[in-house]
Structure 1
């Protein structure tokens, strides 16, 4: 099993000396934050399944809207919490691509991704933002002035410019770290929930107009909730976390074209890490 699939703290850092304070948590590993010492105590102290189930049943996302009463259930809500989670992850991967928006304290990303392509933007509070394109092994990045200044200062050279795209491949450590925000493993190796997880399912609710079943992992008042669609295909559509330092995300536009292509305009080669 890939490391990122395990319930451990998974964070990506830029190469040594380059924005070491910037951390990228795996999009799917909000559960890991609940079991790491930096987040919460071990799961052995989790609430009982009954308490968690009550919490799950009462969980209703903000801005929820009623789904069409004519929508027919796909039956996913009849499965166990693990089966629902695993099915949602697998269904997203089988779609081949999707649009994902992520938010956590000081960080936002808006990306369209597949196993081989990624297009979008990443914004890091006080450190700037950058556009990212990945097509196969080719990676391009274009920063705003704040991000370019910070990167160039850390590297000791003018490798990034707001006027030019910086290009490298997945074998370049720096470019690979920038592209790691895309979390393309979600398509190539979909996540599964540990068999011993205390996550439980709640009652079918509505989220962004879509009927979905929540899967909740709770620890000492902190929680992460995953939502899997109960109509149409059982896509994983949303993640809500109670902590500011754990990511909230939404997935949509499953199977849509990513449209990654080499950018036009000036391009410079990325420095060797």
Structure 2
């Protein structure tokens, strides 16, 4: 299915997070506001890597030829996840639930119409408002599984950590959703990326913005280390993925 397209856009949001929190040598000073910009960025990166769970909301235009979209997910290192992806411009949205080795996906009517023009209406009729349910080992659901694992995001952060040549500037203290933050900004590839770092607690990045080169997006991060909701769709609201996409689940 076109879940790969969803995963690509989710990964793009994760890349925004990764690019926004790359720093230099770690520092342990208590007064983060007094630290150089690069050290603040590094502290926020380490805090993000240490998180056991997080709620991520990304919205906006991520660049040229990419429609504005929204990703809203709560996810943890155990691969549990709940939330959704809205592709924007009436292109469709998908609700996602993953718990252990079980995955539930519910695309809406616009998704089937726009993302699966051949056969989408048939799939929609089979589901009739219910979730597709499958195993995390089913290759057809791999894009959703990968997007729902916090370790995937942590790997992107680690892989994109700058070691040399990254310059940061520090802005004045500002408030983001009631949280006192200090912004640190880096510019590259025609884009200006700013991480708003919590001045208290573990110094998590609570908002990251990317502007320029066709992009105008924000990623909000919250609920660090809070459990992902455990509710899953009841059996009467699910259809086996093979009944929708074909018999014989593909195993990874």
TM-score by structure 1 length? 0.67
Corresponding residue for 1:108? Answer: 70
Offset at residue 233 of structure 1 (A): 1.9
Corresponding residue for 2:233? Answer: 263
Q: Quick one: structure 1 residues 156 and 123, their matched pair in 2 at CA, closer, same or farther if it must change by over 3 Å?
A: closer
The match for 2:98 among 134, 150, 154 is 134
1:89 aligns with 2:45: yes
Offset at residue 111 of structure 1 (A): 1.5
Provide the secondary structure at the position in 1 that maps to 2:54.
Answer: strand
Provide the secondary structure at the position in 2 that maps to 1:191.
Answer: helix
Q: Quick one: structure 1 residues 210 and 80, their matched pair in 2 at CA, closer, same or farther if it must change by over 3 Å?
A: same
Q: Quick one: structure 1 residues 257 and 205, their matched pair in 2 at CA, closer, same or farther if it must change by over 3 Å?
A: same
The match for 1:166 among 127, 132, 141 is 132
Corresponding residue for 1:40? Answer: none
Q: Quick one: structure 1 residues 185 and 263, their matched pair in 2 at CA, closer, same or farther if it must change by over 3 Å?
A: same
Provide the secondary structure at the position in 2 that maps to 1:257.
Answer: coil
Gaps of 5+ in 2: 21-28, 62-67
TM-score by structure 2 length? 0.71
Gaps of 5+ in 1: 1-12, 35-72
Larger mean Cα displacement after TM superposition, 98-107 or 258-267: 258-267
Offset at residue 152 of structure 1 (A): 4.7
Alignment of 1:41-120 (within 5 A): 74-105=30-61, 106-115=68-77, 116-120=79-83
Contact 1:89 1:235 in 2 (8 A): yes
| Equivalenced residues, count | 220
1:30 aligns with 2:16: yes
Provide the secondary structure at the position in 1 that maps to 2:13.
Answer: coil
RMSD: 3.3
Corresponding residue for 1:219? Answer: 188
